[in-house]
Structure 1
Amino acid sequence: MLAAEAGASRNTLMAYRGDLAAAAAALGRLGDADAEALKSLGGQWQDLAASTVARRASALRRFYGFLYEDGLRADDPSDVLPRPKIKRPLPRLLSAEEVEGMLVDAADRAASGERLPRRDHALLELLYGSGLRASELVALPRRAVRPGEPFLILKGKGEKERLVPISTAAHRAVAAWLEEAPEGAWLFPGEKAHLSRVRLFQIVRAMAARVGIAPERVSPHVLRHAFATHLLEGGADLRTLQALLGHADIATTQIYTHVDSRRLVELVNKRHPLARQDLKTGNALGD
């Protein structure tokens, strides 16, 4: 159902399978478990992070909801599962200057003509310049970035397609990489298929360390956050950002308003109609 009707990604399907398998190991046959059995999971999960408990409970609620809706059991016992409150953390951030340092170093290394520095430069330009998810980036087909085309069509979470802008710098970096890239189906091939997300994580951290940035501050997702935050600082609106990031719900995108709250206050003071000049005092009402 998750694959055929909800269009869940492979990673989502694997996560659900893992959570259901863990519950089955604790309870036995899940389809026969009653509310009392599900209550016992709360005690077993008490040492887990709230986010992990929420994810496991969500998987089970989805499972029992499916059984109930399809008439495979007469009740849905999942209401007894815990619902921990989760405070969404603010994303870790890199400044524009820090990312620029990584890009300059990557470009300098790529200029040597060596194969792997060219690959790493192309990876970094696409991560920061287009805001791709790690899973989206490593799985790009070899000819995904077409010469002269300012966008690529990407199939992201939930198999939903979106247009992703490709900068001139990214075009140049990818073109240079393709001169050295091994033949195959993937833009960034790995040992067996495409480059793995784990290997991408390692590459990005090594690039950060070379320019004096603490590696633990950097990951592919941090660069995606930097893409979004720096666009917002430059004046992008949330709806545009939502489309570029491929968020299904704008509430997910709204986390960036907390990151850049100072700039949003300035924007209201400058652009809101109530911030116009007061005719009597000559002062801006927003001041």
Structure 2
Amino acid sequence: MTPLSKPITSYIQEYLPHERRVSRHTRDTYAYSLQLLICFASEQLKKRPSDLYLEQLDASMICSFLKHIESERKNSAKTRNARLAAIKSFFKYIEYRIPSAMAQTRQINAIPTKKTDDCLIDYLTREELQALLDAPDPQSRTGRRDRAMLHLAFAAGLRVSELVKARIDQFNLNSDPTIHVIGKGRRERVLPLWKETTKTVRDWVKVRGDNSTPEMFLNARGTALTRFGFHYIITKYVKLASAKQPSLNNKNISPHVLRHTCALHILQATNDIRKVALWLGHASIQSTEMYLRADPKKKIEILNTTVSPSLRSGKFRPPDKLIAMIQKRKL
């Protein structure tokens, strides 16, 4: 029997950061998935997490855990698949280091992912977006910070992790303002900023104060704002903006919706999906194709470039009352 603590520790502290060089966000996500699994196994086996053995996390236990997070934690199929991906990554690491666990790891890696619905994305109209951007109070310190974050999240199409981890030295607010974004998969891109967005960032810098924290956006304690903190911020301003735009109440608006909105506006302005992929930092243009499905204007363009089939002319004749009565009687 192999104690679980040692391989888990080496996987999180050595393999992911040094051998794989994955981002901090990915490490945190994988570690949290394994934490949920270990806590579940601990409750099922009535043992302390530190007393668990690797062999106890077999395929049956993993399948029970996946059912648990869907039924008890109410996780979606996409979240379930993400947890499974993290677990499979750990057991692939185990496969080449603990030969005795070969059969166990292969059974776990054979657990299939669930098919998910490929739904249309949510995005904001121009009126809804403007109401949201106008919601923060520019006269207060937090209002300036929140306004800058909302403008930047939309204008640059940033992921929430890119936004909250953006450092001061990644901004150039001089004559040609830009932001240097370090994105998913360590892909970097430099994006120009609108003058309106630049103004909001400059206004925040004026009241940010001298702080040794390298991140641009700080919370009330003077430390870097978290992704959950920005989610709270956007939820608060959606409620305020819904007074002007009631249609906001009918949408599930998360920080990623601002990224989707940016993509749709770029697509409508340029009609070039490659430019959208370049702006958002997508590794593959296939990731950008979902915006083509979400934009109704693209379907209208397709209709306008094709010729519809003709209709045979004719006059409508209502059915004879006598025949209609006889047919009704027959039924």
Partner of 1:124 in structure 2?
A: 150
Give per-residue Cα distances to partners, 1:107-131, cap 9 Å, x unaligned: xx42x4x322222221121011111
* Structure 1 stretches of 4+ moved >6 Å: none
1:91 to 117, 121, 134: 121
Percent identical: 27
Contact preservation (8 Å) 1:23, 1:30: no
Shift of 1:34: 4.6
Partner of 1:21 in structure 2?
A: 35
Partner of 1:278 in structure 2?
A: none
Q: In structure 1, what is the Cα distance between the partners aligned to 2:26 and 2:265?
A: 29
1:57–1:201 distance in 2 versus 1, CA, 3 Å: closer
Contact preservation (8 Å) 1:24, 1:30: no
Contact preservation (8 Å) 1:35, 1:77: yes
Partner of 1:198 in structure 2?
A: 228
2:260 to 211, 220, 225: 225
Shift of 1:176: 1.7
- 3-state SS of the aligned residue for 1:140? coil
1:267–1:8 distance in 2 versus 1, CA, 3 Å: farther
1:265 to 294, 299, 321: 299
Counterpart residue identity of residue 275, structure 2: T
- 3-state SS of the aligned residue for 1:241? helix
1:54–1:175 distance in 2 versus 1, CA, 3 Å: same
Shift of 1:8: 2.4
1:133 to 144, 149, 159: 159
| Matched ranges for 1:136-285 at <5 A | 136-146=162-172, 147-184=174-211, 185-190=214-219, 191-211=221-241, 212=243, 213=245, 214=248, 217-260=252-295, 262-268=296-302, 275=305
Give per-residue Cα distances to partners, 1:52-97, cap 9 Å, x unaligned: 3312222222222222245644342224424211123322221111
Q: In structure 2, what is the Cα distance between the partners aligned to 1:139 and 1:15?
A: 16
Q: In structure 1, what is the Cα distance between the partners aligned to 2:196 and 2:93?
A: 47
2:102 to 74, 82, 93: 74
Q: How many positions carry a matched residue from both structures?
A: 270
Shift of 1:42: 5.6
Q: Which moved more, 1:32-41 or 1:177-186?
A: 32-41
Q: In the alignment, is residue 63 of structure 1 matched against residue 90 of structure 2?
A: yes
Normalising by structure 2, report the TM-score: 0.71
- 3-state SS of the aligned residue for 2:189? strand
Contact preservation (8 Å) 2:156, 2:193: yes
Q: In structure 2, what is the Cα distance between the partners aligned to 1:104 and 1:38?
A: 47
Normalising by structure 1, report the TM-score: 0.80
1:39–1:201 distance in 2 versus 1, CA, 3 Å: closer
Partner of 1:30 in structure 2?
A: 54
Q: In structure 2, what is the Cα distance between the partners aligned to 1:222 and 1:117?
A: 20
More helix by share: 2
Question: Is there any run of 5+ residues in structure 2 with no aligned partner, and where?
Answer: 1-14, 46-51, 310-331
Larger Rg: 2
- 3-state SS of the aligned residue for 1:183? coil
1:46–1:263 distance in 2 versus 1, CA, 3 Å: closer
Contact preservation (8 Å) 2:178, 2:193: yes
Q: In structure 2, what is the Cα distance between the partners aligned to 1:207 and 1:46?
A: 30
C-alpha RMSD of matched pairs (Å): 2.9
Shift of 1:266: 3.8
Q: Which moved more, 1:204-213 or 1:41-50?
A: 41-50
Shift of 1:159: 2.7
